[in-house]
Structures are given as C-alpha cells and as structure tokens.
Structure 1
Amino acid sequence: MALLHSLHHVALICSDYPRSKHFYTQVLGLKVVAETYRTARDSWKLDLELGDARLELFSFPGAPARPSYPEAQGLRHLAFAVDELESAVAHLQSHGVACEPIREDELTGKRFTFFADPDDLPLELYER
C-alpha cells in the first residue's frame, strides 16, 4: 500500500496580496474556497481550488524574496495542466503575462511553457 494518496496543497507566499489574489483568481481563474485574515500574524490566507488539490496563497509582512530564478534549492516551479497550450498562452498574454516560447519535453513529447506570477515565481503550463 502506498504511503501517499495525492497532492493536497501547494503554499505560496506573495509580496502584494491584492495583486497576487487578482492574478490567481482573475487571470488564472482559480476558484476561491476560503479567505482568512489572521490578525495575530497580520497575514492573509487564500485557499484556491485546483482540481482535487488546493493552492494556498499567503501574505507575510517582510517575507524575503526568492534567492534566484528558477534554480534555487527547493521547489523549482509549479506546473499546471492545460488541454490546449496555445489558447492558455494567448489568455495569459491578453492579461499582459509574458510566456517563454513553447517547447517540447524530450522525455514525454508533451509541450510546455514557463511564465511567472507577480512575484516572479516560476510557473509552467503543461499540455495534457
């Protein structure tokens, strides 16, 4: 029996909560499950629906910036599955989001591209 069942959530810390909330909900179209302000931490937590998993968006005053892009140790990037890559890229570009040229994964033959969120966190679109 496998120890792990599925991915539950990914947590991101943003520098500008309203800007990142707009990006993840209005540009990427993720549905808000819950939004909580935690007074003791002066922090927002936004739970977003991503299929069977969640994306948690946090704001913490004074959080340090990511040390490098994208080759710092730790999480390299977050990839989102899409049905049609060109349409997804066109949607992002219509919102002013720059995307790298579409490439093909040499191991799977699937196409993908990278883009960044408002804090320059590396995100990927991966065609199913």
Structure 2
Amino acid sequence: MAIIDHLDHLVLTCIDEAATRHFYTSVLGMKFETFGEGRSAFQFGNQKINLHVRGKEFEPKAHLPVSGALDLCFIAAIPLDNVIAHLKQCNWPIIEGPVERTGATQKIRSVYIRDPDLNLIEISEPI
C-alpha cells in the first residue's frame, strides 16, 4: 500500500536570496510568491520550492539546513532544445548534457546546471 501520492513542496536553503530569486525566476521561469509572515517560494505547476535563507530559517526546519546539498530533476514544460537555447541566452553554463537518463516513470533526456548555491539542477524532457 502506497502512503505517499506526490510531492507538494520542498525547502531550499540559500545564501544569497537575490541571486537565488534571479535564477529560479529568470533562468528557470518559476513564479515568485510570498506567503505567511515573510515567507517566500518559487511556484511551478502544482508544486513549489519554499525558500529559507541560511541563518534565518523558519521552524521547524531540517536538522542540518545547508545550501548546495540538493540534486533536483525538473521535467521541462518546453522541448529540451528550447531550454538549452534559453540557458545560452541567459549565459548560464551547462555542465553536462544533453544525456539520456532514467526518470521516475520513463527515459528522459537531460542537461545539468548549477544554481547560485551550487545545487545540481537537472532539466529533462521525456523520450
């Protein structure tokens, strides 16, 4: 029996909030939103990434909240070739790819980049 259905949100700890906001909104095209008492998040599809700034985390928080420890894979809303062109237009370096990988439900074609905190970001399309 499965207990979990899907991911609602995850929490990203960053060092430089402005640089992180620029990356996730301008480079990845996510929507920035504020909520609660001074909280912020990046919204995409039916999910979001809540943002914590190191040293100013909201409680409760991870046992050891650190920046740069995430390895995230996103499925693109547009063809991967268009993602690659957008990354080049933004002068955001691709560190690997495109390469074929195995996703959660099927084979994917991916490129890898790093966000301002050096988290590994994989952007993929189903193949």
Q: Same fold (TM over 0.5)?
A: yes
Instruction: Give the one of 83, 87, 95 matched to 1:88.
Output: 83
Summarize the alignment of residues 1-128 of structure 1 with structure 2, pairs less than 5 Å apart: 2-34=2-34, 45-61=39-55, 66=68, 75=70, 77-82=71-76, 83-99=78-94, 100-105=96-101, 108-128=106-126
Per the normalisation by structure 1, the TM-score is 0.75
Cα deviations by residue, 1:91-112 (Å, 9 ceiling, x for unpaired): 1121121112211126844211
For residues 57 and 106 of structure 1, what CA distance do their matches in structure 2 show? 28
Cα deviations by residue, 1:58-108 (Å, 9 ceiling, x for unpaired): 1123975547xxxxxxx5x11111131111011112112111221112684
SS where residue 32 of structure 2 aligns? strand
Would you say how many aligned residue pairs link Structure 1 and Structure 2? 114
CA offset at residue 46 of structure 1? Answer: 1.8
Gaps of 5+ in 1: 39-44, 68-74
Q: Give identity over the alignment, percent.
A: 28
CA offset at residue 6 of structure 1? Answer: 1.1
Structure 2 contact 67–119 (Cα < 8 Å) conserved: no
Structure 1 residues 65, 52: CA separation in 2 closer, same or farther (over 3 Å shift)? closer
**4+ long deviations beyond 6 Å:** none
Gaps of 5+ in 2: 57-64
SS where residue 110 of structure 1 aligns? strand
What value does the CA root-mean-square deviation take over the aligned residues?
Answer: 2.5
